[in-house]
A and B are shown apart, each in its own frame.
Chain A
Amino acid sequence: MSDPPTAHWSWQPPAAPRVLELSLKAAGHAPRAAFSQSDWPAAPAIQSLDLSAASKVGVVSLRLPKPRLKVSSFGFPLAWQAADAPPAGTHSPPSGPPPGTPGAPPPARGTRIQPPKDIIKLADRLYYVLQPSLETLVAGSGLQFPFQPYPYQMEGTAFLYPRYAAVLADEMGLGKTMQAITAVRLLLHAGELSSVLLVCPKPLVTNWQREFHQWAPEVPLTVVEGDSAKRRWQWQLADCPVRLANYELLQRDHEVLAECGRTFDLVILDESQRIKNRSSTTSEIIRSIPRRRSWALTGTPVENSPNDLVGIFEFVSPGVLDEGMKPRRMGQVASEYVLRRTKDKVLADLPPKTFRDADIELAAEQRETYRMAEEEGVVRLEKLGESVTIQHVFELVLRLKQICNFDPVTGASSKLERLSADLEEIAASGRKAVVFSQWVETLRTLSQRLQAFSPLEYHGQIPTGKRDAVLNEFRDNPRRSVLLISYGAGGVGLNLQFAGYVFLFDRWWNPAVEDQAINRAHRIGAAGPVTVTRLLATGTIEERIDQVLREKRELFDAIFTDVPGHASSGLTQAEIFGLFRLFRGNEEV
């Protein structure tokens, strides 16, 4: 093994660094005397850059000024009234649909108010667009509902809220009263209303009072009533947010009202078909009331002809509709003002309504009486020739219809036999039935012949002051299972949802009125299915009337196209003549 190679290191100091001094400052003027030529290093090559050239570089300046942003501003009126709202829960909820959940936060997407098309100004439209949901308005104002309204009822309220002209034409039983009261209540709290006049048929005054107490307990309601001095004082009251008067009373007081010089913020007409005839005194008086907003409530906006709607619009928004309009066009124009919903559309949970057409064969003696009366009547009409009038025909129709109910001599009645049989079963099962007739006389007879069921009567001959007691008795007394009621007195406004059976002992001229009657029972709160039995004497005038009315159902559909199958049109003069094949010229008259 050889030795590892030895490294031979020798250290030498490093060469002294060569120092070159260069004065850049005076490069061109060095004192040559201080150096010899040999000491002078080779002159470095110097390249100069003219820095001044930098000043010539083009500069692009980006200006970022703070832009002045255009802002559009809109202010809205303040509402102070809500500060007066009572604390929540100052009244006890009544019985009814399932109660809501007081105190629960409103749904994130509640019922919003949309501005109607006839509001043009952007600021006015934004006022409604920017309103919170109805649920928020209610909660924010510390208000409460006695029970949770249905969503369609909130939508109806939102429909009314921004409108100066509106027709709420929901089918009977959907709660038009509640929707109107809630809209009034919210507008009062918003400070948008301070004087409201409610007009309804006289029999419905107590109903409105009750509903108002239920849905707007904190709002003072003044029922205009009493002697003329008291009424004058009530009309003149300054601090009176809501007045309730009936149509008949307004006819007496319209001069006093005019003297007061009051302009109402809102006038609401319940059962507004009362003013369908524009030339009637009632219509003229109602239309003369100074007002800013006009709302009409009716379940039957078209009863006999499209002109009924024109009559209502003369109050709501004069000139919008006219009698020359085709039904379809009328429907289009009115759609912005009219809200109509039917139970089958909005109340999926409402118990079903079943119709039974009970075709009744007249008893032998009834049939004979009927035959003789018809023959004599027709002969008499034919003898009258050109001088025959609608009254002549009408009298005959009424006489024949009455015979269909009871034989005037023997009292025989096939309808009564059928009704008695059904009522026995109903009473035995603890259910309740409502029986409608157009004649008080028929109701009186029924009352006597149905004594086994202890029937109650509700018609024009029952004093107004006693009518509520009748209804309470019928509702609360389990032994009172039958209520005999006239179309005239009980067709509108009554809540009879505890009755599961409705009998139409005789038929009204107008299916809309029949529907009104049926819907006294088939309405919100109905505990079970409602069975409607229409008693119809076969081979008689009743059958012919029914046929004509069925054919006329299309009229309503033509105006309210999204509401199928609703009958509303009654018989015209020509159609009544036609029942007996009476012709005049080219048409049945």
Chain B
Amino acid sequence: MGGRAENAPLAVGFLTVVEHEQHGLFGGFLVVDARGRPLEFHCTAPVKTNRAQEILFGPTLASYLYGEQIGHALFASAKHRPVLACIDSGPMLAMRGHVDVPVVLIAAADGTATAGTAAALATMPAPQLRLDAAHPRGPRLVSFSLGQHRLALDADYAGEQAAVVAQLEPLAARWDLSEPFARIREAIDEAQRSGR
């Protein structure tokens, strides 16, 4: 993906994964302009893991599925180049290794967070490690506040914090940065309904 064209609008990407009991994981990617309007939307076919993946990927399965497989595939579909990718689940941070823009984890504005979000990870109790099993390892996070929002980056990319703040600060003043994830979930639901 090349740089942003002279007249192209500022684009920000929002990615989330919805887990469906029967079908598996659906990924959704919404690219919006600076006013929160949709520029493009991408969603994946359902992804279902098999037993071999569960055994062999072990604790890295979530980051593989969310970040590498779904996140990367969605991001590669974008026609507008987002200046950064906003996510709402920790395992998606793994996509940072596959895209060339910052990936930032956003906690819900109301303080609630699903598993793997910045807030949830921050309050997670210390894990009990066992010698006879693989050690669970979540991403190491660098978290920070932006207005009413709590954000986090993979610690390996902590240096991107200033750039993320510079991009998101004007947007966060005008709209709720966690709101687009709800839109993605609704759109995935709408797409599923239309497919029935």
A69-B69, A133-B179 are known; give 4 further A-B pairs, CB within 8 A. A64-B52, A125-B190, A132-B183, A136-B174
Looking at the complex, which one of B34, B56, B77, B147 makes contact with A73 (CB distance below 8 Å)? B77
- Docked complex: A122-145 residues within 8 A CB-CB of B: 122, 125-127, 129-133, 136-137, 139-141
| Interface pick from B40-48, B82-90, B133-141, B159-167 | B40-48
Q: Is A463 interfacial (CB 8 A cutoff)? A: no
Main secondary structure of the interface of B (DSSP, over half): mixed
Q: Do A140 and B190 contact each other (CB < 8 Å), given the known contacts A71-B74, A106-B175?
A: no
Contacting residues, chain B, for A105 (C-beta < 8 A): 147-148, 173-176
SS class of chain A's interface: helix, strand, loop or mixed?
loop
Asked whether any CB of chain A lies closer than 8 Å to the CB of B30, the reply is yes
Q: Is B4 an interface residue (CB 8 A)?
A: no
- In the complex the two chains form, is B38's CB within 8 Å of A76's CB? yes
The reply to whether the CB of B122 lies closer than 8 angstroms to some CB of chain A is: no
Is A129's CB under 8 angstroms from B183's CB?
Answer: yes
Q: In the bound complex, do residue B173 and residue A140 qualify as a contact, i.e. CB atoms below 8 Å apart?
A: no
Footprint of A on B, CB under 8 Å?
9, 27, 30, 32-45, 47, 52-53, 56, 69-70, 73-74, 77, 79, 108-110, 147-148, 173-176, 178-180, 182-184, 186-187, 190-191, 194
Contacts of B36 in A (CB 8 A): 132, 136-137, 140
Q: In the complex, what's the smallest C-beta–C-beta distance from B67 to chain A, in angstroms?
A: 13
Contacts of B79 in A (CB 8 A): 73, 75
Nearest CB to that of B34 among chain A residues?
A140
- State whether B187 touches A126 (Cβ < 8 A): yes
The residue that B179 contacts in the complex, of A76, A78, A108, with Cβ under 8 A, is A108
From B52, B77, B190, A122 is in contact (CB under 8 Å) with: B190
Bound: A127/B179 CA distance, A: 16
Query: Is A74 an interface residue when CB atoms closer than 8 A count as contact?
Result: yes
* CB closest chain-A residue, reference B183: A130
- A137 pairs with B74, CB closer than 8 A: no
> Which residues from chain A sit less than 8 Å from chain B, CB to CB?
62, 64, 66-67, 69-76, 78-79, 82, 105-106, 108-110, 122, 125-127, 129-133, 136-137, 139-141, 190
Chain A: minimal CB distance from B42 (Å)? 5
- Please list 7 pairs of residues, one from A and one from B, whose beta carbons are closer than 8 Å in the complex, sorted by A's number: A69-B27, A69-B73, A108-B108, A108-B176, A130-B183, A131-B38, A190-B37
A18 to B53, CA, bound (A): 57
The answer on a CB contact under 8 Å between A73 and B42 is yes
Q: Which chain B positions have C-beta within 8 A of A137?
A: 35-37
Q: Please tell me if the beta carbons of A126 and B190 are within 8 angstroms of each other in the complex.
A: yes
Give the shortest distance, in Å, between A27 (CB) and chain B (any CB). Answer: 43
Which residues from B are CB-within-8-Å of A190?
Answer: 37
Question: Which residues of A lie under 8 Å from residue B33 when comparing CB positions?
Answer: 78
In the assembled complex, which residues on chain B have CB atoms less than 8 Å from the CB atom of A127? 38
Least CB distance from A171 to B in Å reads: 31
